[in-house]
Structure 1
Amino acid sequence: MTTGLRESKRLALRNSLSLTTVLLARERGLSNVRVVDIVNRVGVSRRTFGNYFSSKEDAIADRHVSRTQAAADALSIRPASEPIWTAVTHVILEPYKTESKHTSPSQSERDELLQILSDPEMQSAVDRGARAATATLGAAIARRIGVSTTTDPRPCLVANAALSTLLTTLEHWLGLEEPQPLLSQLSESFRQLGAGLDHTL
């Protein structure tokens, strides 16, 4: 087995554990989900789960971290002439362009997600994930503009702005009484915030 194949399998299992945790939390409520429920559905051991996540909350928050890693990887192949905020917006919103082609979640499904996110331990896990995601995206931005995050705060400032915009807009969207297309909500939020950023980096 090559290192590349081994890593692909590892990432696939991590994603499966994370997604399964989300689905179980939506089905039963987060407080009613146990690690044993997750591993039984995926078909692995508790020890394997522990190799990836310290808790069910961290497994859910990893959805955000994994997407940010994918965005950071994609940033490196965006056109060099593209303004940084435009490039960051593109790589962050790309997954939602695919999802927008599918049926939007119902009000009850959005309520389930809000209930999960309102859990105090879940909020702590989201905060931890957000810090990790900001560091990952900040490093990718720094490489793109040719600076170091240890001497220049701008990459992490831009990363934090982008990811805060994403999470804040998602939370706002989940709470809307009338369903709205998520992609259009996200695109407008990024457009408004980025109006001046592309001219400063």
Structure 2
Amino acid sequence: MNKLITLGLVLALTACTQKVPQQRAVYLLLDTSGTYTEELTKAQNILNYLLATLDSGDSVAVARIDSGSFSEKDIIAKVTLDERPSQANQQKRAFKQRMDDYVKSVTRGSRNTDITGGLIQASEYLAETGAGEQYVLIFSDLEEDLAKGHIRDFPITLAGINVVALNVTKLRSDNIDPRDYLKRLARWQERVVTGGGHWQVVNDLERLDQLIASR
């Protein structure tokens, strides 16, 4: 019996000393469909906030929501910040420049909007980072418009991921019937929560300090 008690104490102490990864990882999904491209300058402000907030060891990626977003080709930039502060600052400056160049290059929107594919790609990236805090920021009106033949009506695994919908602009049809807007938000919330994730909507971009936890 004493051996069992000793073994139990050892296991308990081991569990207490195991460290949870403190790194954070953020995946920013940008809607590039239709007139939503006009909102991309706001996304630059969001990225600037992220780069100022993230520390050495944290990871960040930016990807576009395209007609078929379950592909690494849609990742605009990604980086894990170096442990050396001076090197991390250089990485941040280079990352910002890639984002600025991308926004300037967007001349027309994508034909379709594969939000589900983007979320799956985001969850895979976040899992690979091994970060303790994981976030997907969706900069979109949340209107999914799939290309013919694309199948996306299945559960998404988002265990432990914080999904934040940003700048969810209202469509013209929402002005006719505001319930469409509310249904759209409710549908995505259900998919995220059912997949094990956490859901939040932030439309006031002055509240960016609430996006990710400080470290």
Structure 1 length as normaliser, TM-score? Answer: 0.29
Which protein is richer in helix relative to its size?
A: 1
Which is strand-richer, 1 or 2? 2
